[in-house]
Amino acid sequence: MSKSITACTVMALVTLCLLVSTTAVAGSDGQRYTARKTTEAIHVDGKLDERVWERAQAVELSLKNGGEPRQATVVRVLWDDYYLYFSWDCVDSHIWSTMTARDLPLYNEEVVEVFIDADSDRFGYVELEVNPLGTLWDGFILNRGLNDEGHVKLTGILAWNSKDIRWAAWPRGTLNDSTDTDQGWSAEMAVPLADIVSAPHTPPRDGDKWLINFYRIDMPDGAGSTGEGQAWSPVSASTFHDPGRFGQLIFSTELVP
């Protein structure tokens, strides 16, 4: 009797350990964001003053490798049958950027970004960026992994432009002036679903899952300083181009209340 009970107890403990282990692994494969649908019109001006933004799920960015950033960033996502909407709200005591032409290397200054891997192949994905001046960078990335030196092999297709994308930024302060203290800046994007050609369904169906990540490059000390990289789903090294660490965007047809 006692041997039988002991054996059963051991088996139960082993089973429990396996379940706990499986649950831990299943929960450690990146962040998840459930984007709900909206029927409310969003005027893309960077101000985030539509009530629907207040009711969308908010997530905060951390340092790109984990940890708390110096200045907070909040990201929200919504969608309808035609567009995928993104917003960033950035605390920033010194807003700084200079580039005003589309597809200049905005990532060398202050900027917010989103990478969208709709078919979850971890190879080809859309990259979109907006700086505090309201300048856009948009392109399609082919990520070929690491080379022999450990650097990511990327092919950026800058000829890819989103034709009907709408975007804007709204600085709350004076750009490039280190003599005062700014409040921050915000940005919005309305990305046409038709431009995300790798998506399994257009418009998405309830429960569809894409890989995605949100970023910010902040330069709290202004021009010439070392930038602070922020990410929603922390990346493993110095680059944001780490699709193995992207989070998951889950589409819900439930309307935002």
> Residue 13, SS3?
helix
The answer, yes or no, to whether residue 46 has pLDDT greater than 60, is yes
**Domain segments of the chain as ranges:** 1-30, 31-255
Note the pLDDT of residue 29.
54
The answer, yes or no, to whether residue 9 has pLDDT greater than 60, is no
| Per-residue pLDDT reduced to its tens digit, 199-210 | 999 999 999 999
List the beta bridge partners of residue 166. 190
Mean pLDDT throughout 43-49? Answer: 98
The answer, yes or no, to whether residue 140 has pLDDT greater than 60, is yes
| Per-residue pLDDT reduced to its tens digit, 156-194 | 898 999 999 999 999 999 999 989 999 999 999 999 999
Task: Give the position of tokens 């009970």.
Answer: 5
Mean pLDDT throughout 118-129? Answer: 98
Mean pLDDT throughout 31-35? Answer: 97
Average pLDDT for the chain: 89
- Measured distance CA(148)–CA(246) in Å, rounded: 23
Alpha carbon distances (Å) from 95 to 143, 167, 172: 31, 18, 9
- Measured distance CA(119)–CA(198) in Å, rounded: 6
31-255 is classed in which CATH architecture?
A: Sandwich (2.60)
Note the pLDDT of residue 8.
39
The separation between CA 170 and the C-alpha centre of its own chain, rounded to angstroms, equals: 19
